[in-house]
Each structure stands twice: as C-alpha cells, then as structure tokens.
Amino acid sequence: MTNLASSYNPDVLSCIANLSNDEVFTPPEVANAMLDMLPQELFSDPNTTFLDPATKSGVFLREIAKRLIAGLEDKIPNLQERLDHIFHKQLFGIAITELTSLLSRRSLYCSKYPNSVYSVSAFDDIQGNIRFKNIMHRWKDGKCVYCGAAEAEYGDAKRKGLEAHAYEFIHNTNPQEIFKMKFDVIIGNPPYQLSDGGSAGGAIPIYHKFVEQAKKLNPRYLCMIIPSRWFAGGRGLEEFRKDMLADKHIEYMVDYPKSRDCFQGVDIAGGVCYFLRNNSYIGDCDFTSIVNNKASNRRRSLNEFEVFIRDNVGVDIIHRVMAKAKQTMDKRVAPVSPFGLRSFTRGKDKPFDNSVTVITSKGKFYIPRCDVKKGLEEIEKYKVCVGYLNPDRAGVNNASDGKSSVTTKISIYGPGEVITETYIILGSFYSLTEARNFASYIQCKLVRYLVFLTLSSMHITKLNFQFVPDVDYSRSWSDGDVYQLYGLLEEEIDHVESLIRPQIVLGGEDCVE
C-alpha cells in the first residue's frame, strides 16, 4: 500500500509557476518570502484587509488565508465561521484574465465558482471577492491612454474575442471605486509588459503602473514583485525610477539580478526584485541582493549614486576605489557609433585607393574614406574596442560557473581601421604600447566588475564606466596591480573573483610592432 505521507505531492501552484514567462506566475515559496516581510501581527487581526490587484494563480491570497486561519483561531474558534469571515471580509483580488479568475478562485475557495456546493465558503454570486471585469482599452492616436498598449495589437479588430489585456486595476482613474473600501495590504505580481506594436517584438513596461495605482489607494503596506529593469529607467520608467529610489517609505527590498534564482527556468533580462513599502516607516532601505543563492544585506540609501548599485559589496568597493580616483573612464570612452557607420555597413572585399578597413560583425570590408563622416581624428589611432552588446544579458547570465565576462573579448584595431555601431571604442591612442597597456587594464577583473555594477540593459556605453578610474597607461596592468592600487580587502577581492570571468585581448592584424 502506498504511504501517502511520504509520496511526492507537488504543490500545483509551484508547477504552474514554471510553465512559461508570458505571464510570470509566483511560486508559493516566493509569495511566502514576501509575506514574511510584513508585520506578522497582521495575520492575527480580524480587521486586516488584503488586495491582490493582479491575481493569476491566487497564490498570494491562498498563502495569506493559511496565515489568517492559524492567526485568528483564538479570536474565531469555529473553523467555518473563521473561513467565512476571512474569505468575505479580509481577502480580495482582481484577476488579470477570465481564466486566472477561475484559477484563483479554485486556489482560494476550492471551487472556481464560490456559489457552488464545493466552495469552502458560500457566496451569493459566481465571483466572490475575486472579480474579473472584461473591459476595453481606451484608444487615442493608436495607443491606450491608460497603459500605452498599441491599438494595432490589442484593438477589437485584431483580438477578435481574445483577451484584450486591459487590466481593470490600471484602466481606472479611481481605483478606490472598484471595491469601495480601504486596504491595509496590497500585494501581488503584476503583468510586466505589453506589445507596443513596433518591430522585433517591441514591448512597453506596465508593471510600474500597478505600483503607482496601488499607491493611490494609500495602503498601510504595499508589497510587489516586479522586474528590476526600472533600476536603469528608460521606456517610461524614468519618473518611476526617480520616485522609487527617493522613497523613504520603502523599508525592505530583495533583488535577484538573475531571475532564475527567483523564478526557476524563467529569464527576465535585468532580474527581478520585490519590496515592502511601509507608510509609517521613514528611513534607509534594508536591501538584500541574492546572487547564485548567496545573500548580501545592507541598510542603505537607494539613491546614493545616480545609477543604482545592486551589489551591496560593490557599494563598499566603489567608495574605496573612488577615494583614489582622479578621473574616471567615462570621459575617455567614445559615444555610440563613433564613426557614424550602421551595423549593416558592408563594402568591398579588397582594399582600393583611399579606402579604410571597416570592422563589422560579418568580418572586414573596405569602404571609401570619404564615407566616414564622424570621428575622423580617430581613424589613424590604435583603438581598443569591445562589443556594444554585453554578452551577459544586462549583466546577468546563467553560466554554470555563475560568472560574467561583462564585455566581449577586447580587440585592438590599428590605424586605417574603423568600426560600425556594433562596437564601442573604450580608448584610442597613437602608441600601440599605450593601447596594449590600456587593454591590459580593461582586462583586469576589478575594472570589469566596476562596469558590471552599472549594467541593467543589453548595451555597454560610456555611462557604464563612471566608476572606473582612468590610470597611467605607460605601464601594463595585472589583477594584482589593480587590487593593490585601490587597497581592496581580501574578502572584497574574493567577491570580485567569484563574479568575474578572466578575459583575453585580441590584437588586430595591423597591430604588430
């Protein structure tokens, strides 16, 4: 006879959380980690109210119910009375689709229809306190005025009965009217993005709109898990980024630079984070970064630097390095597309009179010198270059060693050679020796680690070198030289070594003495 107590019985919501990343479902363990940030006395108070404004699997409401069932046992001893009170008076949700409304009700009420005989608490209607309202986008100039979705992608003519993804919580100027009540806790995992109707699967973020809408309801506690891409701003996130980093009510934040450390099997460029905003708290944030299942914790100001630094040890290292820096490398690194040549630039296979060599992702070609409209003073220099795209997906990779290369291989291109916008010039010199010494410095793990700290997009630009000191290139550099120059502690060196992979320098064919 099978021993049911010892047989494998996976949580169905754990299984659902691993299905896809179209809509990222929250694993129960992550939901509970978020609930752990809340004052636990909330779960012993029969008056505490909770809202999930973007429920998908119902995991947050289910896990809250478990805590309330235990926490209210002394106050409401009768189990059925306790269940009725919790489900009718304390737990509320807004589903993002009709399907997730059924799934959420099944998770919470044990029946997709809470007015059925199978529901653990009887309601008079088929929705209970988990509502779904099929509403439409409001179009203006081809975009939704609420979420920015493209009419070409989500308009009635395009969808033809499919989900419009017009989420009720954010398609509303008065969210307090949805349930006509005040919530103590708003918690959830909102949808992350919608297609903007552009080419190559372009998408706009929408998760920040859920956070901003939740703030309008002025809950005592706001807790959400969202992509960490907002750390870098961009695409409508600049104001959100500024407000979040300056918000002294954010008491806790947990960041996963590698999304797979949080959502198994799900890749989200830039990682994910969850936070607790406490209306009655004012101060620095208790910030935890988890990389390769190793946690680092600091209480710190989130807006200390213009770019947000996710690595707590990195903050200490930046302080140590910048104390000795006279000038930083962002002043030296060239702008994107230094010669004005697009990535698709091609030319002839052989050199000809008054031609220059153009380095492309498809190899070397030859174009007329007069086709180069920018950076003319750089043509006759030795140029130390890396790829414009970083190889680690916004500073994040899933390599078995857990390490990042940060940049592509470092290449030196000589006089008469130019590059397309596929590459970026980190430094240019008239002397090959200086160029090689400069490349040896870029090769050092600490230098690339300081770049790594600023990465939150797929590209490397001059701004990513704002914490890298510019040094003397009349000599070559090694890892040991750089660690000694800035006086890194042994544990800081170990931290850098654990994250950054060795890099090599490739010399161009013309770069020979």
Mean pLDDT of the chain: 89
Tell me if 238 is assigned to some domain.
yes
360 lies in the same domain as 331: yes
- Higher-pLDDT residue of 512 and 82 is 82
Tell me if 7 is assigned to some domain.
no
Share of the chain above pLDDT 70, in %: 90
User: pLDDT tier at 399 (50, 70, 90 boundaries)?
Assistant: low
Tell me if 6 is assigned to some domain.
no
Is the per-residue pLDDT at 260 higher than 50? yes
22 lies in the same domain as 149: yes
The vertex-264 CA angle with 263 and 270, nearest 5°, equals: 50
296 lies in the same domain as 368: no
Q: Rounded distance, CA 89 to CA 337, Å?
A: 59
Note down the domain range covering 388.
322-507
Q: Supply the pLDDT for residue 509.
A: 45
96 lies in the same domain as 200: yes
Of 288, 310, 332, the one marking the end of a domain is 310
Q: Supply the pLDDT for residue 9.
A: 45
Tell me if 475 is assigned to some domain.
yes
DSSP element (H, E) containing 195: strand 193-195
Pick the range with the lowest mean pLDDT from 167-181, 260-274, 323-337, 369-383: 260-274
Quick check: helix, strand or coil at residue 8? coil
Tell me if 513 is assigned to some domain.
no
Q: Rounded distance, CA 381 to CA 255, Å?
A: 42
* DSSP code, position 133: -
Each residue's pLDDT tens digit, 282-311: 999 999 999 878 899 999 999 999 889 999
Is the per-residue pLDDT at 98 higher than 60? yes
Is the per-residue pLDDT at 162 higher than 50? yes
Each residue's pLDDT tens digit, 99-135: 899 999 999 999 999 999 999 999 999 999 999 998 8
Is the per-residue pLDDT at 2 higher than 90? no
Q: Supply the pLDDT for residue 464.
A: 93
- Average pLDDT of the residues in 307-318: 92
Is the per-residue pLDDT at 217 higher than 90? yes
Tell me if 5 is assigned to some domain.
no
Each residue's pLDDT tens digit, 365-378: 999 999 999 999 99
* Diameter over CA atoms, the chain: 93
459 lies in the same domain as 329: yes
Q: Which of 383, 374, 377, 386 is nearest to 429 (CA)?
A: 383
pTM for the structure as a whole: 0.81
- Residues contacting residue 8 through CB under 8 Å, at least 6 positions apart: none
297 lies in the same domain as 403: no
39 lies in the same domain as 121: yes
Tokens 């270059």 correspond to 385
Q: Supply the pLDDT for residue 48.
A: 98
241 lies in the same domain as 351: no
281 lies in the same domain as 368: no
What single-letter amino acid sits at 158? K
Output 359-365 pairs: Cβ under 8 A, ≥24 positions apart.
Answer: 359/385, 359/411, 359/413, 359/417, 359/418, 359/419, 359/420, 359/423, 359/508, 360/420, 360/422, 361/420, 361/422
Q: Rounded distance, CA 242 to CA 480, Å?
A: 38
- Average pLDDT of the residues in 148-154: 85
Tell me if 502 is assigned to some domain.
yes
288 lies in the same domain as 362: no
Q: What is the CATH number of the domain that holds 74?
A: 3.40.50.150
The number of distinct structural domains making up the chain is 2
